[in-house]
A = this chain, B = another copy of it.
Amino acid sequence: MAENKSKKVLEEFGDKIVSQIKKGKNPEIEMTLRNLSNIIYDTKQKILKLGNKIQSRSFFNLAHSKKFLQTVEVASVIKKELLGSGKHSSLRDVFYMVKRTIPGTNINLVEDQTESDKALEDLEVITDFSREQLHVAANKMGSVAGKVIIEDKGDTIDWSKMGSGGWSIPSITDELKFKKVSAKYVLYMEKAAVFERLNEDKFWDKNNCIIISSQGQTTRGIRRMLQRLYEEHNLPIYVLCDGDIYGAYIYSVIKYGSIALAHASGRLTIPGVKYVGITMDDVIKYDLKKHFIKLDEKDYARIKQVSEYAWFKNNKDWLRQFKMMKEFGAKVEIQSLTSKGISFISEKYLPEKIKNKEFLD
């Protein structure tokens, strides 16, 4: 069982500290450094990841001791309360479980959730297990429908028999089993309303695929599920976002990872993912200029920033998109396609682009 492995690693982590104490040493934790100076874009693997720099944190060091205690306490709570019971919890719950007054003082071990969150990230790096494998998750979000049958917590769930709603994606998707995958590709979209359009049109049935949506940024639960469908079932993953810089960034996080979660890239990123739209070329081809929304200063600043990221700055196709955005001075939403007809997106736009492999990489 995966739980037993992660429990064992946490036990070893504790044993090491105990043995340092017994030897009269200053207890010390070593881990890969997680700040910007040690986050690199690996041009070969095409993912954001941590470099080789190591940091150490010791108990008898005024600057370290509270963080040291926090890391140890979070490890203890995870081992006892979560892995020990087989239960899962949210980041917020971990905060409340760890929050207690240090005996003999009036100091709380953690005052703010960012402290327990950071300790958890430390433990991901130290143990090489993901937060999800340690049974902790952020909020759930998003829906899925398509030709797939899964098994989860003893239930057999057919994603093609979910009516107008879809299956609600849990925050942790490591443990579900894919029993039968008949779909040929996955279409992920950033907007729940577009999901409802495609679901009502039975797009996944007619095109033999899986449709997945969240709302805004992609949750870790969805990223992991996309990665598993890509790796375990060789399904191509296509991403559908608004034609703006935020859409481009959502795509890039799925593909390359993010700075904040560089240490988790291996379990979340999908180098082979493709961007299906909306592109600035779509605007011309499908005559969407009248639905342009003007860029504001924030948009321009974000375009500049994103174009300079290591994973974009040598990508000619994307740089061309960013240039066009600036020339148009505008962005465009997925739903502007509705102006061509309510089901234009599911009957023409998507089937055409996917058939002709009109993707951005």
A interface residue numbers (CB < 8 A to B):
81-82, 85, 87-90, 92-93, 96-97, 99-101, 137, 139-144, 150-157, 161-172, 175-176, 192-193, 195-197, 200-201, 215, 290-291, 333, 335-339, 342-343
Contacts and interface: CB of A to CB of B under 8 A. Distances in A.
Contacts of A157: 161-163, 165
A338 B96 CA distance: 6
A90 B139 contact: no
Contact of A89 (B165, B192, B197): B197
Given A163-B150, A164-B152, A167-B167, A89 B342 contact: yes
16 contacts: A85-B342, A90-B335, A92-B333, A93-B193, A93-B342, A96-B291, A97-B339, A99-B291, A140-B165, A140-B192, A140-B196, A157-B163, A163-B176, A165-B169, A168-B169, A171-B196
Nearest to A151: B163
B90 A196 contact: yes
A166 B87 CA distance: 17
A161 B157 CA distance: 7
Given A96-B339, A101-B290, A163-B176, 12 more contacts: A89-B342, A90-B197, A90-B335, A92-B193, A92-B333, A99-B290, A137-B196, A139-B215, A140-B196, A141-B215, A157-B165, A171-B196
Contacts of A193: 90, 92-93, 139-140, 171
Nearest to A139: B192
Contact of A170 (B93, B97, B152, B164): B164
Nearest to A137: B196
A85 B197 CA distance: 13
Contact of A162 (B155, B172, B290): B155
A99 to B, nearest CB: 7
A87 B343 contact: yes
Contact of A168 (B153, B165, B336): B165
